[in-house]
Structure 1
Amino acid sequence: MAAAGNFRRAAERAGVSQPSLSAQIQLLEAQLGQSLVERGAGATMLTPMGREILRHAHAILADVSALSDLARSDGDAMIGTIRLGASPTLGPYLLPQVVARLHRDHPELRLHIREGLPHDLLRDLASGLHDVVLTQLPVIGDQYFVMSLFREPLLLVMAQDDPLAGQRCVQPEMLAGRGLLTLSPHYRLSDQIQALGKAVGAPVLRDYEGTSLDAVRQMAGMGMGIALLPALYVRSEIRDHDDVTIRPMASQIIEREVGLVWRRSAGRAAVYQRLADMVISVAGS
């Protein structure tokens, strides 16, 4: 009607009789309680409400068409939406670059990201809130497919005036008696540092648990203890002029394993594997 300008031409375009088209429009007006068409001796026009209804109808039809295209598409195509859960110790230092590459290379794929603690990530993955999660391994469960992505070194972070700051590399035994700073026990990273501390005689300072890697770094900079922080965080957030010194461990490489996890029953494994390849590329760049 809007394009044709009168009932006769609109009926011809729709492939129905003019009385039938007129009756259908009247029925719609009655259901909505609004006049949609201005009827007169001259050209037939939509009322302001008719124009609004038409705009919404076009949007609905476009969404239905997109849904139909998605349903007919290859399930391995890089289109649609992926709901990704990520650990706060990983997501901020990897995913901005991943999202940028996806937008450049696969503009029809959208990545919705939500951060959470490791236990919460797996719970939400099992319930379907997440399609896939980026987290520290290991992850146990026959219902999951676990893809290891990379191993990331942990680096010693300390105040610039710390006695160990003068060492090029820190031997594990040098940590004996020193307090280690870490996150709360909800993180696997904390368990790993707890095990290292026990092995070398360096107690974890539970009175000073950090709520984020930034908080742990700040406490280390104030001389409250020594931290072990992931290399991706160090590369992203710490600069030469900052208030901390970075040193590697000598003769003993401390690493964490990072992986992508999804439900075996969910399908789209090929898409998740391509996403994994992109994460690996970003981590190594």
Structure 2
Amino acid sequence: MPSIRQLQYLVAIEDTEHFGRAAESVNVSQPTLSQQVKEMELRLGAKLVERGRPVRLTPIGREIATRARRVMRDVAEIKAVAERGRDGMAGTIRLGVSPTIGPYLMPRAVVRLHRDFPALKLYIREGIPTDQYADLHNGRLDMMLAPLPHSGRDLRVEPLFTEPMHLVGAPDHPLFKRTKIKMQDFHGEPVLSLDLRHPSHRQTEHICEKMGAELLRDYEGTSLDSLRQMAGSGLGLAILPELYLRNETGGEDMVKRFEIEDWTESRTIGAVWREGAAFSDSFAAIADLVAAEAKEILA
């Protein structure tokens, strides 16, 4: 049977589609990785990798890689069970956080977490939720904070809090001169968004459809800061979350909120982790603390 390390090499090849990058991702030399994959193919009596550009797995290779991911995840859980049994509410948790949440909520939450659980360490990785869900399934992340909705097999999803979303624009936008504004008044107005991999893009798209506004697909932002700055320059309007607008690293220094009579838009932030994870009660405690911190800010 192949070793766990060999299975890890196969998964890395599927993820990167390149022998060199796969070797780099698992911290071995390319010749070592290639040799181990060949040895695994000999042991199993099946071709697993189509060697070309890009490198692809054969149908059998893909099936084995899918099962290998589960094996690797289970091994990680075994280690976590042992660690948890030894240390209690301690150890290192790999936490994935959406960039539309992390910079504006996590600093205060981390202070509170360290105060309440000093032996608990957080390895925090910001990333696009669609990518991080794959990392969660594969065991490269233990837990995520991300906009909902999301559902997935073998995942536990806990809604934490709901925050208002606001339409903002440059302070000299003509609509600010009106005493009353409704969503229909933004018909044809250009609206900026993050790229389509972000949940907020889909929400912005939906809101634009309701308002009859134009989603600017050629000017997608890379962060909430970039959206605010582009909106402040007059390029278009932007839809930003309350926590961001209240935070000193975000704010309203160059944009202004529209007070819209029939505007009720919001988003829900949730915590997500694998069902049956060894640290489930730790994840739940972290989720409760993050929710309490957010609600305190929003109160």
- TM, length-normalised to structure 1: 0.71
**Structure 1 residue 169 displacement after superposition:** 6.5
What one-letter code is carried by the residue in structure 2 that aligns with 1:117? I
Contact 1:169 1:247 in 2 (8 A): no
Structure 2 residue 91 is the aligned partner of structure 1 residue 83: no
2:250 and 2:276 map into 1 onto residues whose CA distance is 41
Distance 1:98 1:194, change over 3 A: same
Of residues 250, 269, 282, the one that matches 1:258 is: 269
Measure the CA separation in 2 of the matches of 1:231 and 1:80.
33
Cα distance in 2 for residues equivalent to 1:270 and 1:122: 20
- Letter of the 1:245 counterpart: K
- The CA distance in 1 between the partners of 2:203 and 2:139, in whole Å, is 29
For 1:92 and 1:142, locate their aligned partners in 2 and report how far apart those are by CA, in whole Å.
Answer: 29
User: Is residue 2:135 matched to residue 1:112?
Assistant: no
Q: Are 1:166 and 2:181 counterparts?
A: no
Query: Which ranges of structure 1 fall in alignment gaps of 5 or more residues?
Result: 1-66
Shift of 1:270: 1.6
Residue 192 of structure 2 aligns with which residue? 181
* Shift, 1:164, TM fit: 2.1
Are residue 94 (structure 1) and residue 92 (structure 2) matched?
no
Find the aligned partners of 1:261 and 1:68 in 2 and give their Cα distance. Answer: 19
Give RMSD over aligned pairs: 2.0
Residues in 2 aligned to 1:142 and 1:71: alpha-carbon distance in whole angstroms: 25
Which residue of 1 is the match for residue 257 of structure 2?
246
One-letter amino acid of the counterpart of residue 192, structure 1: Q
Partner of 1:140: 151
**SS in structure 2 of the partner of residue 266 of structure 1:** coil
Alignment of 1:27-106 (within 5 A): 70=83, 72-73=85-86, 77-106=88-117
Find the counterpart in structure 1 of residue 233 from structure 2: 222
Distance 1:163 1:118, change over 3 A: same
Question: For residue 205 of structure 1, what is the amino acid of its counterpart?
Answer: L
Partner of 1:208: 219
What SS does structure 1 have at the residue aligned with 2:214? coil
Tell me if structure 1 keeps the 8 A contact 2:96–2:132: yes
Give the aligned partner of residue 31 of structure 2.
none
Residues 111 and 118 of structure 1: CA distance in aligned 2, closer, same or farther (over 3 Å): same
Aligned position for 1:17: none
Structure 1 residues 177 and 140: CA distance shift in structure 2, 3 A: same
Residue 14 of structure 1 corresponds to none
SS at match of 1:249: coil
Q: Report the secondary structure of 1:207's partner residue.
A: coil
Pair 69,256 (structure 1): closer, same or farther in 2 beyond 3 Å? closer
Give the one of 236, 240, 243 matched to 1:232.
Answer: 243
Q: Answer yes or no: is the 8 Å Cα contact 2:170–2:231 preserved in 1.
A: yes
> Quick one: which amino acid aligns to residue 240 of structure 2?
L
**Alpha-carbon distance, 1:273 to partner:** 1.2
Q: Which residue of 2 aligns with 1:269?
A: 280
Check 1:124–1:245 CA distance in 2 against 1; reply closer, same or farther (3 A cut). Answer: same
User: Which deviates more from structure 2 when the two are superposed, residues 214-223 or residues 160-169?
Assistant: 160-169
Say which SS state the counterpart of residue 141 (structure 1) adopts. coil
Deviation readout 1:112-131 (Å, 9 max, x if unpaired): 10011111110000111110
State the one-letter code of the partner of 1:194.
E
**Residue 71 of structure 1: how far off its partner (Å):** 5.2
